[in-house]
């Protein structure tokens, strides 16, 4: 996580993404990359979240938009019947479009949770789950799992991530391997 974010800063990625993002995408989605100066979070937050915010306060990575710390709020994942989907002490730390980025304060695990998960024929609203914030940043925000943030790729009629400036940039700088053409 530290090395990848340092590389983005070194390459001037914020300015590059601003130039690559079309006006239409910017109007729909806002800024594609935001790396504000870091801050210190209180000790009661898990180490991974504190480490991320020390690097960058409320960062944005494509469609992943982390909240300022004063906007973290309790958010319990529920299933289609309104029952608690997974016990834990969850807070919402950001959004992935209409989906929530949830942090389990008990375990430090980070997830994207979609309350409308049934639209993707999923058994659970946990679209993506990682054991920690650093894993989430490395594999999802700055990695190959980014196209799954809005539900499984197979459920999309178009491959939206192929035209997403953030995902294209990740491929360009080698954080996501380029797909080989089929023979």
* Per-residue buried b or exposed e for 87-111, using 16+ beta carbons within 10 Å of the residue's own CB: ebebbbbbebeebbbbbbbeebbbb
| 41-45, 66-70, 78-82, 176-180: least confidently modelled range | 176-180
Q: Is 136 or 28 the better-scoring residue by pLDDT?
A: 136
Q: How far apart are CA 59 and CA 52, in angstroms?
A: 9
- What is the spatial distance between Cα 155 and Cα 172, in angstroms, rounded to a whole number? 25
Residue 183 has a pLDDT of 47
Give 157: exposed, middle or buried? Use CB within 10 Å, 0-12, 13-18, 19+.
exposed
pLDDT tens string 113-143: 988 777 777 778 899 999 999 999 999 999 9
Buried-state track 8-28, b at ≥16 Cβ within 10 A, e below 16: beeeebbebbeebbeeeeeee
pLDDT of residue 180: 56
For the stretch 145-183, pLDDT in tens is 999 998 777 777 778 888 888 998 999 889 988 765 544
């Amino acid at each position: 996580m530290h090395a990848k974010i340092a590389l983005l800063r070194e390459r001037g990625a914020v300015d590059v993404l601003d130039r690559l993002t079309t006006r239409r995408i910017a109007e729909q989605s806002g800024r594609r990359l935001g790396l504000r100066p870091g801050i210190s979070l209180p000790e009661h937050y898990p180490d991974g979240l504190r480490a991320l915010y020390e690097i960058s306060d409320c960062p944005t990575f494509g469609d992943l938009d982390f909240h300022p710390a004063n906007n973290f709020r309790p958010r319990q994942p529920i299933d289609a019947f309104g029952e608690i989907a997974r016990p834990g002490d969850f807070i919402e730390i950001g959004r992935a479009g209409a989906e929530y980025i949830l942090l389990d304060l008990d375990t430090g695990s980070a997830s994207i949770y979609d309350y409308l998960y049934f639209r993707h024929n999923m058994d659970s609203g946990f679209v993506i789950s990682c054991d920690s914030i650093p894993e989430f940043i490395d594999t999802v925000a700055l990695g190959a799992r980014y196209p799954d943030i809005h539900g499984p790729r197979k459920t999309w009629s178009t491959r939206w991530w192929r035209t997403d400036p953030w995902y294209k940039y990740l491929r360009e700088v080698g954080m996501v391997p380029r797909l080989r053409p089929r023979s």
